[in-house]
Amino acid sequence: MPHPAMSAHHVAVITGGASGIGLAAAMRFAGFGMKVCIADIGAERLAEAATKLSSAARGADVMTAEVDVSSFEQVVGLEAAVRKRFGGTDILMNNAGIGPDSNSFGPLENWRRILNVNLWGIIHGSQAFAPHMIERGRPGLIINTGSKQGITTPPGNPAYNVSKAGVKALTEALQHELRNTDGCKISAHLLIPGHVFTGLTARGRSEKPAGAWTPEQTIDFMIERIDTGDFYILCPDNDVPRQLDERRILWAAGDIVENRPALSRWHKDHAEAFARFVKGE
């Protein structure tokens, strides 16, 4: 059985809800008979998503909101609008994210955009929604979309890695505070997708790579793991099983403990040792 927050007539709000993982979540929640608000940028994209939702879950009560999560005022306005229409929020999925290219020297504007959406957007969502969700007095969920890149921080896009590492730290702190708040029935969870074929990851491709999961597979796994009480929802995909993720994560932590070079997994002097470690040797 799904978590009690995922019940008919309860309310789910999903940022970045017009496509990808966000839209897949909205579809599943609407299928449970929930009232759903999808927030995103682009009125046309929102209208198309609302049409898909209404077609997939006939009779679904769907609200759309054009919101830039990097603006705290807009997120506060979203929370108020949801409360006015639906009476409150039972599930908040802070999912909006972007990933333009970056390196350690820039472009500075890309760094600002990524951090403003990926990290500040989740801070804004949590601060705008959580107090009212706690006051609501019902079991609820705050699900923040992180990334494995925020844990193993591979070379290639440090601004994205920094944003998702921040999401991990933020969500851990949020869950600690929620579980130590008297009378609070809200729990926070960190969604850590694997390779998922979405508009963000497509990079010009029109067909899903064989190794990638669909957004729907990712959300089904998320719902299953929330039901078991997982905080870290570490998703596999068709290429990377959980065991390999665990070895990669342990090696990354070992860089500090063993005083290896930064990102030693990609360092030529440690390639052989990493390969043996993955095999459990």
Determine if residue 223 is left, alpha or beta; phi over 0 gives left, psi from -120 to 50 gives alpha, anything else beta: alpha
Indicate if 160 belongs to the active site: yes
CB atoms inside a 10 Å sphere around CB 279: 8
Place of tokens 């694997």: 194
Active site residue: 160, 213, 251, 274, which one? 160
| 209 cis-preceded (ω within 30 degrees of 0) | no
Beta bridge partners of 91: 12, 141
Beta partners for residue 103, in sequence order: 106
User: What positions carry a catalytic annotation?
Assistant: 160
